[in-house]
């Protein structure tokens, strides 16, 4: 169902054009958005049956907007929309989600107070800075403060690591009052972005637990068995109080995904059961519910890992007892992409190496930026030599250090560091950092050429996407996977939470095609080496087994893999 997406994009265009002060057009886009929203049929079906002409026939939709809808249906996005968002230097979409704020007022807030998003807006309102602006008063300032809560509640999603550390804080605060505690929802599934955090508890002491939970944020709703608060990052946390005999069923239900749940419930029904968050029931009798395993097992299924619960074939596989043995969170033996203060990282080489050793790694690869000096304080030839010396003399025992570099893939697929320098390195990681708007064919040619380079071992963040910010460039994956196998040039799952690139679906396709992958953090500080688990979560969402991930092998075997 694409109606909501189409309507959202059209509406945002209307807002953007208003902010830019364009006449008439905003109303046309708003009208079209409303019309799509109110359709009783899926716009995709309409398009598939009648083509662009049928879109044109929708009330409020003319030729030009019909073409844009077609683009959204085909690609899930719209170039024109992306461009408009790039042009406006503040987050007008977020600001206009505050009830009472329109394009004019948002423009004023940005111009006069430099307000770029909700956080800035909240601060300015609390500091009493808004009441003095032209067109605003004390009343509008109060209204902003009142309505900003809702705006936060609306679709505000955060990156996985943000939600993950918030959830850790919640856990620490209330754990001692609970006999059982699990974080469920999208966070348990390790989804790239999180809408809200779902926590299930069986309390030892309910009133103490609730009181201590409420201290963590602002109250949104407080009921007997469900409490919602808003946390520091702006997202909500739902706390659900669950009886022990239902805990497994509740955990199953609230872990989702919704698509997975719908299928599992359908399966239960076909077997004469009723499945709810309270348990698995035959007639009125609860036959399972205490643990998830019990619930799945009664349904004749293996227990699918939470990361797999997306209704992407795991239900069938679990019934046939054919679930893969996913790579575990402690299987990785080293990290092959990180940065130090030789380029844009914070820590010294030694700092990074000691941290990696503390994490129990067998090896660490250092890949500071090299080549094009405009990118992230890249190393020149002299610096690379100095770095090699420093690594040689490092003297940290119990961990192997590989000297690599992250070089740039230029528009024509060549690298910006000459072979005679690459030759000296233990391995080379190559990434695209510029010219993102080539065609799919050009992008694929460019990447494949880099993969064919005899010195390149790993392609960093292969699609260039930024989670919540921009989608990656399109590639012809068949060709990329083939090039990976032909040249022993491996694709990366970049574990940096903003990237998580390859995505779960791309990584799964790569594995199905027989490619082996690296999971690297791209850490720019010692603590970011801990991002590895987000990459592993992504790999598990892609059904990766240990054998699919190269950096689970020993140092000796790794050296062989890096020989081309």
Nearer to ligand DGT, 4 or 262 (CB): 262
Segment contacting ligand DGT by CB under 6 A, of 106-114, 195-203, 338-346, 553-561:
195-203
Residue 192 lies near Ca ion (rule: CB under 5 A): no
CA torsion, points 518, 519, 524, 526, in degrees to nearest 10?
A: -120
Name residue, tokens 């519910």.
289
Give the span between the Cα atoms of 149 and 218, in whole angstroms: 10
CA torsion, points 321, 324, 330, 336, in degrees to nearest 10?
A: 180
Nearer to Ca ion, 120 or 238 (CB): 238
Residue 258 interaction partner, one of ligand DGT, Zn ion, Ca ion, none, beta carbon < 5-8 Å per kind? ligand DGT
Residue among 361, 499, 372, 510 nearest 435 (CA): 372
Segment contacting Ca ion by CB under 5 A, of 29-37, 117-125, 230-238, 501-509:
230-238
Q: Which of residues 337-356 bind Zn ion (CB under 5 A)?
A: 339, 344
Give the span between the Cα atoms of 308 and 324, in whole angstroms: 10
Helix (H, G, I), strand (E, B) or coil at 195: coil
Residue 307 lies near ligand DGT (rule: CB under 6 A): no
Helix (H, G, I), strand (E, B) or coil at 116: coil
Segment contacting ligand DGT by CB under 6 A, of 73-81, 220-228, 257-265, 554-562:
257-265
Interface residue with ligand DGT, options 18, 122, 124, 185 (CB under 6 A): 185
Residue 141 lies near ligand DGT (rule: CB under 6 A): no
Residue among 553, 207, 524 nearest 368 (CA): 524
Bond before 270 cis per omega within 30 degrees: no
Beta-bridge mates of residue 196: 236
Give the span between the Cα atoms of 508 and 405, in whole angstroms: 27
Q: Which of residues 238-267 bind Ca ion (CB under 5 A)?
A: 238
Residue 531 lies near ligand DGT (rule: CB under 6 A): no
Interface residue with ligand DGT, options 228, 257, 410, 463 (CB under 6 A): 257
Minimal distance in Å, beta carbon 197 to ligand DGT?
A: 8
Nearer to ligand DGT, 158 or 352 (CB): 158
Nearer to Ca ion, 228 or 526 (CB): 228
Nearer to Zn ion, 193 or 341 (CB): 341
Minimal distance in Å, beta carbon 392 to Ca ion?
A: 49
Decide: 407 and 445 in contact? Cβ < 8 Å: no
Q: How do strand 363-369 and strand 334-335 relate by DSSP bridges?
A: parallel
Give the span between the Cα atoms of 163 and 113, in whole angstroms: 29
Residue 198 lies near Ca ion (rule: CB under 5 A): yes
Decide: 379 and 414 in contact? Cβ < 8 Å: no
Residue 372 lies near Zn ion (rule: CB under 5 A): no
The torsion angles phi and psi of 409, rounded to 5 degrees, stand at -90, 120
Residue 198 lies near ligand DGT (rule: CB under 6 A): yes
Segment contacting ligand DGT by CB under 6 A, of 123-131, 194-202, 324-332, 348-356:
194-202
Residue 18 lies near Ca ion (rule: CB under 5 A): no
Minimal distance in Å, beta carbon 188 to ligand DGT?
A: 8
Interface residue with Ca ion, options 18, 166, 196, 294 (CB under 5 A): 196
Nearer to ligand DGT, 185 or 365 (CB): 185
Segment contacting Zn ion by CB under 5 A, of 274-282, 335-343, 432-440, 488-496:
335-343
Decide: 335 and 364 in contact? Cβ < 8 Å: yes
Give the span between the Cα atoms of 409 and 497, in whole angstroms: 23
Nearer to ligand DGT, 103 or 256 (CB): 256
Interface residue with ligand DGT, options 7, 17, 66, 194 (CB under 6 A): 194
Q: Three-state SS string across 498-556, please? A: CCCECCHHHHHHHHHCCCCEEEECCECCCHHHHHHHHHHHHHHHCCCEHHHEHHHCCHH
Alpha helices in 97-205 (DSSP H): 103-113, 118-126, 138-153, 160-174, 185-188
Minimal distance in Å, beta carbon 522 to Zn ion?
A: 7
User: Which residue of the chain is nearest Ca ion when measured via CB?
Assistant: 185
Give the span between the Cα atoms of 559 and 542, in whole angstroms: 26
Measured in whole angstroms, how far is the alpha carbon of residue 448 from the centre of its chain? 26
CA torsion, points 27, 31, 37, 43, in degrees to nearest 10?
A: -110
Residue 344 interaction partner, one of ligand DGT, Zn ion, Ca ion, none, beta carbon < 5-8 Å per kind? Zn ion
Minimal distance in Å, beta carbon 307 to ligand DGT?
A: 12
Interface residue with ligand DGT, options 117, 195, 324, 530 (CB under 6 A): 195
Binding site for Zn ion (CB under 5 A): 339, 344, 376
Binding site for ligand DGT (CB under 6 A): 185-186, 191, 194-196, 198, 253-254, 256-258, 261-262
Binding site for Ca ion (CB under 5 A): 185-186, 196, 198, 238
């Amino acid at each position: 169902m694409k109606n909501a997406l189409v309507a959202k994009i059209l509406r945002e265009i209307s807002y953007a054009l208003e902010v830019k002060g364009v006449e008439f057009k905003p109303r046309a886009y708003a009208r079209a958005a409303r019309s799509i929203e109110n359709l009783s049929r899926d716009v995709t079906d309409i398009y598939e049956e009648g083509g662009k002409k049928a879109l044109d026939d929708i009330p409020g939709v003319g030729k030009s907007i019909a073409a844009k809808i077609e683009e959204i249906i085909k690609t899930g996005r719209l170039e024109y929309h992306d461009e408009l968002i790039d042009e406006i230097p503040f987050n007008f979409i977020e600001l206009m989600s505050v009830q009472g704020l329109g394009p004019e007022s948002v423009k004023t807030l940005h111009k006069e107070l430099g307000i770029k998003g909700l956080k800035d807006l909240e601060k300015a309102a609390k500091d009493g800075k808004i009441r003095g602006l032209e067109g605003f008063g004390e009343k509008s300032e109060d209204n902003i403060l009142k309505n900003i809560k809702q705006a936060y509640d609306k679709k505000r999603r955060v990156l996985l690591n943000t939600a993950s550390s918030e959830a850790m804080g919640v856990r620490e605060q209330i754990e001692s009052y609970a006999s059982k505690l699990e974080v469920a929802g999208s966070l348990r599934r390790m989804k790239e972005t999180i809408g809200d955090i779902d926590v299930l508890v069986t309390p030892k002491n309910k009133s103490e637990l609730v009181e201590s939970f409420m201290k963590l944020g602002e109250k949104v709703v407080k009921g007997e068995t469900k409490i919602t608060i808003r946390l520091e990052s702006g997202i909500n946390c739902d706390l659900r109080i669950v009886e022990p005999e239902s805990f497994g069923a509740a955990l199953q239900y609230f872990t989702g995904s919704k698509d997975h749940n719908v299928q599992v419930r359908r399966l239960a029904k076909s077997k004469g059961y009723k499945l709810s968050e309270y348990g698995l029931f035959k007639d009125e009798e609860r036959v399972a519910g205490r643990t998830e395993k019990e619930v799945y097992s009664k349904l004749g299924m293996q227990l699918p890992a939470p990361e797999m619960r997306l209704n992407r074939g795991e239900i069938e596989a679990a019934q046939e007892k054919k679930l893969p043995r996913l790579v575990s969170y402690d299987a990785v033996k080293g990290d092959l992409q990180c940065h130090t203060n030789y380029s844009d990282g914070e820590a010294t080489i030694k700092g990074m190496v000691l941290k990696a050793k503390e994490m129990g790694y067998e090896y660490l690869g250092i890949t500071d930026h090299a080549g094009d000096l405009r990118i992230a304080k890249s190393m020149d030839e002299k610096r690379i030599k100095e770095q090699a010396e420093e690594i040689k003399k490092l003297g940290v025992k119990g961990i192997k250090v590989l000297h690599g570099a992250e070089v740039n893939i230029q528009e024509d697929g060549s690298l910006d560091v000459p072979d005679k320098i690459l030759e000296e390195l233990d391995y080379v990681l190559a990434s695209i950092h510029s010219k993102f708007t080539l065609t799919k064919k050009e992008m694929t040619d460019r990447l494949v050429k880099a993969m064919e380079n005899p010195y390149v071992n790993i392609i960093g963040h292969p699609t260039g996407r930024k989670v919540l910010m921009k989608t990656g460039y399109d590639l012809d994956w068949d060709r990329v996977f083939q090039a990976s196998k032909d040249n022993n040039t491996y694709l990366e799952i970049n574990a940096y939470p903003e990237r998580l690139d390859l995505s779960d679906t791309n990584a799964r396709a790569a594995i199905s095609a027989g490619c082996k992958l690296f999971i690297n953090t791209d850490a720019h500080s010692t603590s970011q080496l801990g991002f590895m688990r987000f990459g592993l979560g992504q790999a598990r969402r892609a059904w990766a087994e240990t054998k699919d991930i190269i950096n689970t092998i020993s140092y000796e075997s790794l050296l062989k893999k890096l020989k081309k």
